[in-house]
């Protein structure tokens, strides 16, 4: 390969990278002079609002998609700092026709290794919650998390990470369109309901997400540390069970 070809290929690759960041204007060094450059109001607004840290979405949010298509579209996601540290992106698992979607916080160590949500100790407890209390086979519900990649040392999700993953979860819920949603813990519950109300006050009370009944409860990992709280989660799951197995429309108790 001659030198000119190498330079051209490198330049094309660089421009493609810039394009992925929604960059559509480049000022050359000798052109950066207010007396020589006149930008339109729209161009100025575009440049000021450009976020160089967050690549564009790898899919069109307005496009109709299947779950598998969405999974394929985001499998190489690097929109936030967690992307480069993961072993697997944990998209979610279960039925694409699920009547119940269960949303947790983020993958843990085992989930990161296997690429499947809730497979560690908390996952074993969740399976018992689904099958023994709600009385539904785990494979018939869809389980996912707010974040698709594991935070280091299982720390709490950070705001920028949630913002990057938010469109993925929204699209999953749009595609599945379940009968009801069960959120596990503070982060999933507060994000879905757009509320800063403590989980202790949200749990056990139905709210609505785009017309879909949503019930928050404690996270299984919290129950492992606080087993006395299991009785409250059992009460919450019985409410889910009643709605799941009948035509009962739950009373919305939280209008957030």
Kindly report the pTM of this predicted structure. Answer: 0.79
pLDDT below 50 — which residues of the chain?
A: 1, 6-7, 20-25, 27-52
Q: How many CB atoms lie within 10 A of CB 128?
A: 12
55: left (phi > 0), else alpha (psi -120 to 50), else beta? Answer: beta
Give the β-pairing of 93-94 and 142-145: antiparallel
Burial class (CB in 10 A: 0-12, 13-18, 19+), 216: buried
Residues 118-145 pLDDT 10s = 999 999 999 999 999 999 999 999 999 9
List of domains in the chain: 3-48 (no CATH), 69-244 (3.40.470.10)
What is the pLDDT at residue 256?
Answer: 66
pLDDT at 38: 44
- Distance (Å, rounded) from C-alpha 134 to C-alpha 242? 8
**Helix and strand element counts for the chain (H, E):** 10, 6
């Amino acid at each position: 390969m001659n030198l000119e070809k190498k330079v051209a290929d490198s330049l094309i690759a660089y421009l493609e990278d810039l394009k992925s960041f929604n960059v559509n204007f480049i000022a050359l060094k000798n052109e950066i002079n207010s007396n020589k450059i006149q930008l339109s109001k729209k161009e100025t607004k575009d440049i000021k609002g450009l976020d160089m840290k967050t690549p564009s979405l790898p899919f069109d949010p307005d496009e109709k998609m299947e779950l598998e298509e969405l999974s394929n579209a985001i499998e190489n996601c690097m929109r936030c700092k967690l992307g480069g540290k993961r072993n697997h992106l944990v998209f979610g698992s279960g039925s694409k026709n699920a009547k119940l979607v269960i949303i947790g916080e983020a993958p843990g160590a085992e989930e990161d290794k296997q690429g499947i949500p809730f497979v560690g100790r908390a996952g074993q407890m969740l399976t018992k919650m689904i099958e023994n209390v709600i009385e539904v086979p785990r494979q018939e519900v869809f389980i996912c998390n707010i974040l698709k990649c594991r935070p280091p040392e299982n720390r709490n999700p950070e705001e920028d990470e949630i913002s990057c993953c938010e469109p993925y979860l929204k699209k999953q819920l749009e595609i599945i369109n379940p009968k009801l949603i069960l959120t596990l813990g503070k982060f999933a519950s507060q994000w879905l309901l757009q509320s800063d109300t403590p989980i202790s006050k949200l749990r056990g009370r139905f709210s609505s997400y785009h017309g879909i009944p949503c019930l928050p409860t404690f996270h299984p990992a919290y129950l492992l540390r606080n087993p006395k709280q299991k009785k409250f989660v059992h009460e919450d799951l019985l409410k889910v069970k009643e709605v799941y197995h009948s035509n009962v429309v739950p009373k919305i108790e939280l209008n957030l």
